Structure 1
Amino acid sequence: MSINKIVLAYSGGLDTSVILKWLAEEYECPIIAYAADVGQHEDWDAVREKGMATGAEKVIISDLREEYVRDYIFPAFRANAIYEGSYLLGTSLARPIIAKEQVRIAEQEGANAVSHGATGKGNDQVRFELGYLALNPKLQIIAPWRFWDLNSRKKLVAFAKEHNIPIPTTKKNPYSSDENLLHISFEGGILEDPWNEPEEGMFKLSVSPENAPDVPTYIEMDFEQGNPVAINGERLGPVELLTKLNTLGGENGIGRLDMVENRFVGMKSRGVYETPGGFILREAHRDLETITLDREILRIRDSLVPEYSKLIYNGFWFAPEMALLQKTMDESQKTVNGTVRLKLYKGNCIPVGRKSDNSLYSEAHATFEEDAVYDQADAGGFIRLNSLRLQIQALNRK
């Protein structure tokens, strides 16, 4: 099948700029440079100008921020998604919406191929391509890093100079990073040795806990059916709410993570993350569930979180099993309504109060004082019945 037009996931950096020119030469067809705005700090006019100057037929910049928070981040946080007990999936959640928009543009523009700049070692190639294949398997996929010979920064720079592609004159960032509304990630450089502590100057979204204010910040967050809707009584849209949480968390040194994770392709990778708003959101949501979810629903839901999170991390957002799990997660959230009060202090996010019209907490039953609703004598039979199998095992041993 011949390639008539290619839509490239484009950032304007060295790699995708070289890929843009390389694709135009290699396939001799129009290239559309597509950039997704998912909340990263970027000069979009400069991205557009560089894309056109590098040979794109068209540069399309899609503002996906609202959809990203509403339809990807919030659903994941309704499920308390977390990978390997620590990672809040900031990069993983952005990839499916980027792929979805890329497929839409390809169909709109009459392109029969899509391309990306992910390497053959990482997770992103899997996430992008599983998205393409789930949404339009007829599209050709071109992943240059898996077969071209420009396999080093030295070769990329030489190609860029040969083709008059601007190269930043500032000192190269020693880290590979990815930023969106949920987080920023850092990999590579000194971080490739897991013994090395991250340099303080690397962080962008948060102050260090040591330098955070000495006075705690108290906030209240309102939820409706598992979604955050207001901070301190002020109703906010998804983007505004997460942005405000990022500011509050960053000011108080909250949301830093240093971990070694297991990539889907098989290797271990050390990553450092800043997720200030997401960390606060997850802590608040989990705390509200303690009074609004039935014990057994909570137990079953929690048992599904590792599988749900693994599907996101591995790129299966559009898979049928993911849709099934999301429906289950959302069903559990119908009663997760109410308010959580949080104390933010030097890297800590501490729930200190919670209330809900759907609360299952009964002070009358839980009190240590005298009550008229619970007969403590009933506990003896309860214990003996639950210990029956233990008693039989003990008798057999004797």
Structure 2
Amino acid sequence: MPKDGITPVNRVALAYSGGLDSTVCIKLLEREYAAKEVILIMVDVGQGEASLAEARERVAGLPLQLITVDARREFTDEWIPRAVAANGSYGGYPLSSSMTRQLIAARVAEVAREQGCDAVAEGSTGKGNDQFRFHNTFTLLAPELRVVTPIRDLNLSRAGERRLAQEFGLTYKEGISDDKTCWGRAIGSGEIEDLEQDIDVNEYEWWHPVSADAAGPVRVTVEFREGRPVRVDDVKGMNEMIGMLNEVAGRRSIGRIDVVEDGIMGLKSREVYEAPAASVLLTAHRDLERLCLTKRELAFKAQVDTAWADLVYHGHWHHPLKAQLDAFIAESQRHVSGEITIDLHCGNAVIAGRRSDQSLFDPTVRSVERDSFDQSDMSAVVETYAFESVFLGGRNRRQAVIQAPEI
């Protein structure tokens, strides 16, 4: 029977990843919530077959239904291009887990409805960001379903979860936790308490430290069409381009992100990520925008991009304002087409070349070496432009006279 204050559930769909949190939730739903049936929903967002296989193995002996949803192409072909167009970054973090948590929640809610569930469950703690991302998505897309969060409801610490896993006879991945997608990998979110201790290099999968035997410099060319990456050298397809850049850029020490992050609750945490492909593609896209958009477009879009990243980070991918910002961003990208060439080496992604038929750069006009127009024509323009400064200067001069001390 459920404990006091806990309402039982009948048929519940659990967002399952194979990690400690979601694995412990399986038994907690049965023991604490009297769930008659727990359906495991595992959403593939590009975490890799090895991770998926490990997750399946952990529940192979349990009499449970496990449903795997393939959302890789939806993530790479729909979600990531929008993030690139919006220069999606929250304090240097390329919004990988922020997006996938909401994609996972959407697919879990969809399957829960199909399976006739009365509840959805997920393994977030009460200290992190994911509880908001899951809850926002569940309640928006499936408001009739009850949302159950065993780890938070029962106030469990990570140590308490480990004890329960042993008690239940469950296996889980030992060591520092991670969250991997093709767009980025979070390492030990919420677990890294020491701000001075560096992360062991063995914890990284793509990123390699700069060393004497590191891979040599390499030059890549990224082609964009209306703000969307369409080719990196000879590689096409978002999934393929991202995979190639994670390997090539990661081996050249690009994509390591170590930041003190302000979470949704206002709590600061040290967050470590690796995102080589995202780092390269976002760098290239920002540079191409500066070539193809006007000064005013860039200034206004920077505000939109910040609002977009803030919404996504805080769990509002499906909010109507997010869709409205998407519409503006898509319109802004109509002329963001061209090629950016980047040199990758020793942790640096340096722009080496730019080419675009939509470029607003005209060397024949801007060059100080050429006679493109009569510069004396600018005298009247500059005088008019300085009207405000003339009046401000006059006021300052009068104020100085008034405040001058008597001799």
**Shared fold (TM-score greater than 0.5)?**
yes
Which amino acid in 2 is paired with 1:379? M
Counterpart-to-counterpart distance in 1, 2:190 and 2:370: 63
**Residue of structure 2 in register with 1:98 after alignment:** 104
How far did residue 48 of structure 1 move? 2.7
The aligned counterpart of 1:355 is: 355
Aligned to 1:204, the other structure's residue is in SS state: coil
**TM-superposed deviation, 1:247:** 1.1
* Deviation at residue 268 of structure 1 after TM alignment: 0.4
Aligned counterparts of 1:296 and 1:167: Cα–Cα separation in 2: 52
Q: CA–CA distance in 2 between the matches of 1:90 and 1:263? A: 15
Determine the C-alpha separation between the residues in 1 that align with 2:145 and 2:238.
32
Instruction: Verify the 8 A CA contact 1:82 1:88 in the aligned structure 2.
Output: yes
Separation (CA, whole Å) in 2 of partners of 1:3 and 1:353 = 59
CA contact (8 A) 2:338 2:357 kept: yes
Give the superposition deviation at 1:191.
Answer: 2.9
Distance 1:380 1:19, change over 3 A: same
Note if contact 2:364-2:370 (Cα within 8 Å) is conserved in structure 1: no
Task: Please report how far the alpha carbon of residue 363 of structure 1 lies from its aligned counterpart in structure 2 after TM superposition.
Answer: 1.7
Contact 2:255 2:278 (8 Å CA) reproduced: yes
What is the correspondence of 1:284-299 to structure 2 with a 5 Å cutoff? Answer: 284-299=284-299
Q: Report 1:237-276 matches (<5 A).
A: 237-276=237-276
1:55 Cα offset (Å): 4.0
TM-score, with length taken from structure 2: 0.90
Match of 2:84 among 69, 77, 85: 77
Q: 8 Å contact 2:25–2:151 — kept in the other structure?
A: no
Structure 1: gaps of 5 or more residues: none
**Which residue does the alignment assign to 1:394?**
393
1:163 equivalenced with 2:164 (yes/no): no
Matched, 1:32 2:39: yes
Asked if structure 2 preserves the Cα contact closer than 8 Å seen for 1:185 and 1:273, the reply is yes
Which residue identity is paired with 2:335? T
How far 1:211 sits from its partner (Å)?
5.0
**2:255 touches 2:276 (CA, 8 Å); kept in 1?**
yes
Identify the range of structure 1 (40-49 vs 136-145) with the bigger mean alpha-carbon deviation: 40-49
SS in 1 for 2:343: strand
SS of match in other structure, 2:136: helix
8 Å contact from structure 1 (residues 100, 132) kept in 2: yes
Question: Are 2:303 and 1:306 aligned?
Answer: no
Equivalent residue pairs, number: 389
More off after superposition, 113-122 vs 202-211: 202-211
Report Cα offsets for 1:34-65 as digits up to 9, x if no partner. 11111113343442343352342x10111211
Structure 2 Cα separation of the partners of residues 334 and 285 of structure 1:
13
Relative to 1, partners in 2 of residues 1:54 and 1:382: Cα closer, same or farther, differing over 3 Å? farther
* 1:64 equivalent in alignment to 2:71: yes
The answer to whether the Cα contact below 8 Å between 1:12 and 1:47 also exists between their aligned partners in 2 is yes
Residue 4 of structure 1, CA deviation: 2.8
C-alpha separation in 2, matches of 1:43 and 1:365? 56
Q: Note if contact 1:20-1:55 (Cα within 8 Å) is conserved in structure 2.
A: no
Distance 1:106-1:209 versus aligned 2 partners, 3 A rule: same
- Opposite residue 289 of structure 1, the aligned amino acid is E
The letter for the 2-side match of 1:74 is: P
Does the 8 Å CA contact 2:23/2:170 hold for their aligned counterparts? yes
Structure index of larger Rg: 2
Tell me the percent identity: 31
C-alpha spacing 1:152/1:378, structure 2 compared with 1 (3 Å): same
CA 1:167–1:47 in structure 2 vs 1: closer, same or farther (change >3 Å)? closer
Which residue of 140, 144, 148 maps to 2:150? Answer: 144
Following TM superposition, by how much is the alpha carbon of 1:335 offset from its aligned partner in structure 2, in angstroms?
0.8
CA gap of 1:162–1:202, structure 2 versus 1, over 3 A, is closer
CA distance in structure 2 between the partners assigned to 1:211 and 1:226 by the alignment? 37
**Of 109, 116, 134, which residue of structure 2 is paired with 1:110?**
116
- Comparing 159-168 with 33-42, which one deviates more in the overlay? 159-168
Does the 8 Å contact 1:103/1:136 carry over to 2?
yes
Displacement of 1:319: 0.5
Query: 2:21·2:124 contact (CA, 8 Å) conserved in 1?
Result: no
Distance verdict in 2 for CA 1:24–1:72, change over 3 Å: same
Instruction: For residues 235-276 of structure 1, give each alpha carbon's deviation from its aligned partner in whole angstroms, at most 9, with x where no partner exists.
Output: 511111111111111111101111101001121011111010
Equivalent pair of 1:24/1:55 in contact (CA under 8 Å): no
User: Would you say 1:124 and 2:130 are equivalent positions?
Assistant: yes
Corresponding residue SS for 2:375: coil
Letter in 2 for 1:9: A
Q: Tell me how far apart the structure 1 counterparts of residues 171 and 198 of structure 2 sit (CA, whole Å).
A: 33
Q: Do the aligned partners of 1:212 and 1:252 also contact (CA within 8 Å) in 2? A: no
Using the size of structure 1 for normalisation, the TM-score is 0.92
Letter matched to residue 314 of structure 2: N
SS in structure 2 of the partner of residue 209 of structure 1: coil
Does structure 2 retain, via aligned residues, the 8 Å contact 1:217–1:344? Answer: yes
2:142 and 2:264 map into 1 onto residues whose CA distance is 23
- Structure 2: runs of 5 or more not aligned: 1-6, 398-407
Q: For 1:337 and 1:188, locate their aligned partners in 2 and report how far apart those are by CA, in whole Å.
A: 36
